[in-house]
Structure formats: structure tokens, C-alpha cells
Amino acid sequence: MNGLPKMFKTVYPAVGFHFQVKLNNQAYSFKEVSGISSEITVEEIGEGGENRFKYKVPTGTKYNNLELKRGLIAKNSELLTWVNNSLTQGFSGRIKTKPLEISLLNEKANKILTWSFVGAWPIGWNSASLNAMNNEVLIESITLSYNYFSTKIIRQHDSNYKGISG
């Protein structure tokens, strides 16, 4: 494919099933990660005498909570200790925040895109329903809040890929 003209080289979209989650530089396996999103919040301001529209003024950025899902593992880990301590200590102690990194990987397990979350801390944990009629892995969900995130494009499948320009 290297001998083809540039216009014939195809760059495929990244797949959403090959990713890595690191908490405090420790890798963990999850079956699903959701909630990676941000939006600008706006306030509508009306002008006296102008009834056709309202001005929309940006007021800040809103980040949704992250939800991490995986098969329940009956083994203690740094992650579960952190979640348990955060959720059971109440407000008697200081909540410990940790850096969280979610990386999208290519077919060679190289990072192509990374989301870095600042000040992540657990706000919820739950288990899927127990049902004797189902033959499924028991899934646990961990919900995290965070201050903000940044996105870094590291590399794409094609060595000629230069990143997103704009």
C-alpha cells in the first residue's frame, strides 16, 4: 500500500472496543466506559422590546459523570479500596481524587487518543441484578465525577496521519 498515491490511501475510523483505563498509572480492565462528554452551558438573556429571540451567553463548561463497567471481581484492589473508602467514610474525611486516563488503542495496542481526567473521585457503585435464571457475568458499575478532562491525539493507524487540523 506504500506505493499507492496519497489519494488512494484509506484511514479508517478507530474502533471503540479496544481501550485501556489507568487510574493513578495502574491499568484496569473494563467492558464499557461511558460519559466522556462536555458541553458549554448558556444563559438566555432577553432584551427589552425585542421579543423575537433571546441572546445566548456562555456561562461555563459542564462535564458528565463517567461510568465504568466490568465483571465483578471478588478480589481487593487499589481501585475497590479507593471506591469503598470514598463511599463509606461519609464526609468525615477528605475525599481523595486521583488522575484517570482512558486511551483508545489501535490494532497493535498503541495509543491513538487519550482522555486525561483531572481530579476523579467515586460518587457511586452498583451491581447488576442477581438472577438465577440468567447465565451472565455479574457486572459492577463505578461512577466517577471529575473536574475536567483534556484530549490528546497521539497517533493514527496510518503513519502519514498528521492529526486533526482546524
The tens digit of pLDDT for each residue in 7-35 reads: 555 666 777 888 999 998 889 999 999 99
Q: Which amino acid is at 63?
A: Y
Provide the mean pLDDT of the chain: 85
In whole angstroms, give the CA distance from residue 149 to residue 36.
9
In whole angstroms, give the CA distance from residue 90 to residue 95.
9
Position with higher pLDDT, 98 vs 155: 98
Per-residue pLDDT for 158 more than 70? no
**Domain spans of the chain, in order of start:** 17-38+65-153
Asked if 63 and 38 count as a contact pair (C-beta separation under 8 A), the reply is yes
Per-residue pLDDT for 63 more than 80? yes
pLDDT at position 162 is 46
The tens digit of pLDDT for each residue in 99-128 reads: 999 999 988 888 999 999 999 999 999 999
Of residues 122, 115, 112, the one with CA closest to residue 145: 122
pLDDT at position 124 is 95
| The three three-digit cell numbers of residue 136, written as one number | 451472565
Per-residue pLDDT for 166 more than 80? no
pLDDT at position 149 is 96
Residues in the chain: 166
**Which one is the CATH code of 17-38+65-153: 2.30.110.20, 2.60.40.10, 3.10.105.10, 2.30.40.10?**
2.30.110.20
pTM greater than the 0.75 cutoff: yes
Asked if 106 and 157 count as a contact pair (C-beta separation under 8 A), the reply is yes
| The three three-digit cell numbers of residue 134, written as one number | 440468567
